[in-house]
Chain A
Amino acid sequence: GAGVSQSPSNKVTEKGKDVELRCDPISGHTALYWYRQSLGQGLEFLIYFQGNSAPDKSGLPSDRFSAERTGGSVSTLTIQRTQQEDSAVYLCASTEGANTGELFFGEGSRLTVL
């Protein structure tokens, strides 16, 4: 597609369940980022991929959060044993190179943990 695609757009889950969020970046973009936007908060950096490797995982809030990227394209963010404080919009962004200055964002996946 033309833009960054994320799925699902909305996910409601019960506390304790695992969830997977998917990001399909713009074709050819080597860098991929995950951010989290909580209600009333700014965007919180989670993880950065360059190709399939993740040189910066510093924003992952706990070991319940993990992410992978395969084939230098699609990325999956997994949250295990979800908690209510995980409720947020999870945003994915991609960019052509590591230092171009512009990130292209998807519309996000809204996660609600009951």
Chain B
Amino acid sequence: GDSVTQMEGPVTLSEEAFLTINCTYTATGYPSLFWYVQYPGEGLQLLLKATKADDKGSNKGFEATYRKETTSFHLEKGSVQVSDSAVYFCALSDLGAAGNKLTFGGGTRVLVKP
């Protein structure tokens, strides 16, 4: 079945540091790929997405490129802020299946220190 693997946290960074969170996936079809973020005390929300190979999703300074050849969707941000402290989840959706069931990775907690 489909699966998503992402690097374990926690990841602790200083403000303005470069952030990378690795994500790789296994899927039988041609999934869409997502990054969701969960800020402290809030529900998960979509950060960015890419629906086909070589697409780049971007939002709030974060970027991720859909790499079919390496089955990866790594999340990057060039200069993090304290407000980026959150748990980040990589996910895939095989839109050929019934509904829009997302398969999530285990989440990566990021802590940005001032």
Contact of A101 among B4, B100, B104, B107 (CB under 8 A): B100
Please determine whether A95 and B45 come into contact, CB atoms closer than 8 angstroms: no
Contacts between chains A and B (CB distance < 8 A), count:
71
Point out the residues of chain B lying under 8 angstroms from A101, CB to CB: 32, 34, 49, 51, 93, 95, 100
Point out the residues of chain A lying under 8 angstroms from B107, CB to CB: 42-43
Please determine whether B100 and A99 come into contact, CB atoms closer than 8 angstroms: yes
B114 at interface by CB-CB < 8 Å: no
In the assembly, what is the distance between CA of A108 and CA of B45, in Å?
13
Please determine whether B49 and A102 come into contact, CB atoms closer than 8 angstroms: yes
Please determine whether A48 and B98 come into contact, CB atoms closer than 8 angstroms: yes
In the assembly, what is the distance between CA of A35 and CA of B43, in Å?
12
Please determine whether B100 and A103 come into contact, CB atoms closer than 8 angstroms: yes
Known contacts A42-B106, A48-B98, A48-B101; A102/B46 CB under 8 A = yes
B44 at interface by CB-CB < 8 Å: yes
B72 at interface by CB-CB < 8 Å: no
Interface size class of B (residues with CB under 8 A): 20 to 34
Contact of B46 among A40, A41, A103 (CB under 8 A): A103
Known contacts A48-B99, A56-B99, A99-B95; A105/B104 CB under 8 A = no
| Supplied contacts A45-B103, A99-B100, A107-B43, 16 more A-B pairs, CB within 8 Å | A4-B43, A33-B101, A42-B4, A42-B104, A42-B105, A42-B106, A42-B107, A43-B89, A50-B99, A91-B43, A101-B95, A101-B100, A102-B34, A102-B46, A103-B46, A104-B45
Q: Which residues of B contact A (CB under 8 A)?
A: 4, 32, 34, 36, 41-46, 49, 51, 89, 91, 93, 95, 98-107
Q: Which residues of A contact B (CB under 8 A)?
A: 3-4, 31, 33, 35, 40-43, 45, 48, 50, 55-56, 91, 93, 95, 98-108
